[in-house]
């Protein structure tokens, strides 16, 4: 009990220090930001932010600077100061604390637009950035129970009636501080209600207007009217939202719109296609593991034109008290795909999802060890399969071992030194 109490106090101190330190960096980053004075386009939501940012870069090119790998209170400040965040030694904090005042004196970016990804993974994070950056345009791509565990305390304190309300209120800080246009998903009641009385023009996007959606393991076509939007990667149907937003936004910004997304540079772990050993198709969506993105990828898998669909599913993380409920619900989504085989990796999927799948008449191999999952796959894959990976639990390591071209490993997620060290600690080399 004494140990748990001590750890709780340490956690509380860390949370308090988080914004104290963030304000330090914001003070100096704000000098660089005001010196630059760009038109700000903010991308926020529970999942899908990075894909939206990558698609914006495809359209806008060098007219904008993009906050790649920087979406937190610290990350955005570092990005505005031209500094790299913490990737490796914690001693780099010393350098950052010293460098920030000097960079604040002279550093300035030059692009006309700043396309910035903004997360809301903890209470007050989106608020902190929204009240500072005050974007001209906000694109709210999704809302769901990502990082739900971070919001349980504010619900327990009675500040919100439930987690959905707490998380929505956090993200809603962006639209509330936006000056011109806010794009939302028209099918989301939470988004519609949260933006009902803001000053900016709200543009609800009707994804259902997309006329046709055809997805293969290595390509996707969306059709709207006489326009076909082509990708040379598999993309979930929800990307229709991004396409409609881009069409309208480019018109607003008076920039050309290109519907051909062939060669779009996607961030690692977001629906990449690789050739596996023996010619098997590998679909890599291993970057995150929130229910909203899990549902989107499983819907894509259900609609995908592929003869032999195998699912490799990892745990959904940061769900707190919702952990059991979400993993039991996951079973139904998996069953709707009608996969040929299912491999579950992780304590949560083994404990909660596998029994539910059994009730639905679907047999699944469940393990907490990625090495056992790899051994199972290597023994049975013949080269005609489409392997769709989604979730955490080091699934990117399994993909690495199954690649036809070992050099493709550089395109996988979690390649930094910290991630490599964590895999080594698990015996994954």
Q: Number of C-alpha atoms within 13 angstroms, CB side, residue 152?
A: 10
Residue 344: is its pLDDT beyond 80?
yes
- Asked if 240 contacts 207 with a C-beta cutoff of 8 angstroms, the reply is yes
pLDDT in tens, 164-195: 899 999 999 999 999 999 999 999 999 999 99
285-299, 302-316, 339-353, range with the lowest pLDDT: 285-299
Topology alike, domains 2-207+240-248 and 272-425: no
- Residue recorded with tokens 């870069």: 57
Q: Which fold has domain 2-207+240-248?
A: 3.40.1190
CA–CA distance, 301 with 337 (Å, rounded to integer):
6
Residue 4: is its pLDDT beyond 50?
no
- Residue recorded with tokens 């949260």: 194
Beta strands in 130-177 (DSSP E): 137-140
Which one, of 304, 301, 382, lies nearest residue 342 by Cα? Answer: 301
12-21, 119-128, 266-275, 351-360, range with the lowest pLDDT: 12-21
> What is the reported pTM?
0.90
pLDDT at 304: 97
Which one, of 415, 387, 382, lies nearest residue 399 by Cα? Answer: 387
pLDDT at 78: 96
* Helix pair 125-133, 163-171: axis angle to 10 deg: 20
pLDDT at 3: 35
Query: From its phi and psi, is residue 3 left (phi > 0), alpha (psi between -120 and 50) or beta?
Result: alpha
Q: Please name the helix (run of DSSP H) or strand (run of DSSP E) that holds residue 166, with its range, or none.
A: helix 163-171
Residue 420 CB coordination number (10 Å): 14
Q: Which residues contact 183 (CB under 8 A, 6 or more apart)?
A: 137, 138, 139, 140, 203, 205, 245, 248, 249
Q: Please name the helix (run of DSSP H) or strand (run of DSSP E) that holds residue 55, with its range, or none.
A: helix 49-60
Mean pLDDT of the chain: 90
Q: Where are the domains of the chain?
A: 2-207+240-248, 272-425
pLDDT at 9: 40
Residue 107: is its pLDDT beyond 70?
yes
Highest mean pLDDT of the ranges 148-162, 180-194, 391-405: 180-194
CA–CA distance, 42 with 171 (Å, rounded to integer):
11
**Length of the chain as a residue count:** 429
Residue predicted with more confidence, 323 or 298: 298
- Asked if 396 contacts 373 with a C-beta cutoff of 8 angstroms, the reply is no
pLDDT in tens, 31-60: 999 999 999 999 999 888 999 999 999 999
Residue 7: is its pLDDT beyond 90?
no
| Alpha-carbon torsion (167, 22, 318, 294), positive or negative | positive
pLDDT in tens, 404-413: 999 999 999 8
pLDDT tier at 263 (50, 70, 90 boundaries)? Answer: confident
Beta partners for residue 185, in sequence order: 205
pLDDT at 88: 57
pLDDT at 14: 57
Which one, of 192, 125, 292, 116, lies nearest residue 183 by Cα? Answer: 192
pLDDT at 87: 64
Residue 92: is its pLDDT beyond 50?
yes
4-13, 102-111, 275-284, 377-386, range with the lowest pLDDT: 4-13
pLDDT at 332: 95
Residue 356: is its pLDDT beyond 50?
yes
pLDDT tier at 259 (50, 70, 90 boundaries)? Answer: very high
- Structural tokens at position 61: 């090119």
| Alpha-carbon torsion (284, 287, 293, 295), positive or negative | positive
Residue 283: is its pLDDT beyond 70?
yes
- Asked if 418 contacts 412 with a C-beta cutoff of 8 angstroms, the reply is no
- For domain 272-425, is the CATH number 3.90.190.20? yes
pLDDT at 41: 98
For residues 110-123, average pLDDT: 92
């Amino acid at each position: 009990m004494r140990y748990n109490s001590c750890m709780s106090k340490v956690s509380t101190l860390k949370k308090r220090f988080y914004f104290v330190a963030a304000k330090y960096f914001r003070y100096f980053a704000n000098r660089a930001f005001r010196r630059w004075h760009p038109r700000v386009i903010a991308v926020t939501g529970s999942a899908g932010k990075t894909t939206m940012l990558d698609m914006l870069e495809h359209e806008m090119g060098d007219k904008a600077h993009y906050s790649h790998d920087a979406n937190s209170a610290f990350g955005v400040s570092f990005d505005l100061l031209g500094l790299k965040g913490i990737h490796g030694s914690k001693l780099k904090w010393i350098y950052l604390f010293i460098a920030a005042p000097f960079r604040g004196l002279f550093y300035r970016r030059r692009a006309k637009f700043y396309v910035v990804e903004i997360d809301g993974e903890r209470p007050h994070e989106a608020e902190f950035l929204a009240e500072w950056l005050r974007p001209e345009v906000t694109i709210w791509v999704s809302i769901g129970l990502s990082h739900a565990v971070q919001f349980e305390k504010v619900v327990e304190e009675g500040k919100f009636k439930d987690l959905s309300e707490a998380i929505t209120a956090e993200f809603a800080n962006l639209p509330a501080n936006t000056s011109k246009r806010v794009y939302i998903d028209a099918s989301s009641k939470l988004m519609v209600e949260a933006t009902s009385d803001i000053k900016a023009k709200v543009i609800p996007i009707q994804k259902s207007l997309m006329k046709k959606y055809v997805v293969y393991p290595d390509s996707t076509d969306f059709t709207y009217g006489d326009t076909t939007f082509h990708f040379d990667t598999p993309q979930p149907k929800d990307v229709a939202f991004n396409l409609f937003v881009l069409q309208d936004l480019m018109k607003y910004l008076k920039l050309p719109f290109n519907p051909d997304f062939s060669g779009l540079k996607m961030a690692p772990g977001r629906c990449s296609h690789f050739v596996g050993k023996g010619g098997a198709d590998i679909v890599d969506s291993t970057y995150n593991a929130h229910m909203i993105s899990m549902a989107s990828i499983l819907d894509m898998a259900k609609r995908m034109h592929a003869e032999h669909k195998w699912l490799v599913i990892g745990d959904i993380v940061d769900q707190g008290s919702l952990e059991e409920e979400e993993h039991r619900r996951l079973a139904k989504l998996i069953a709707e795909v009608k996969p040929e085989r299912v491999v579950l990796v992780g304590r949560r999927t083994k404990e909660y999802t596998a029994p539910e799948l059994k009730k639905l008449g679907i047999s699944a191999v469940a393990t907490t060890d990625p090495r056992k999952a790899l051994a199972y796959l290597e023994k049975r894959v013949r080269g005609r399969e489409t392997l769709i990976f989604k979730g955490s639990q080091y699934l990117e390591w399994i993909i690495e071992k199954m690649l036809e071209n070992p050099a493709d490993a550089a395109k996988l997620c979690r390649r930094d030194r910290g991630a490599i060290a964590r895999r080594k600690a698990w015996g994954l080399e």
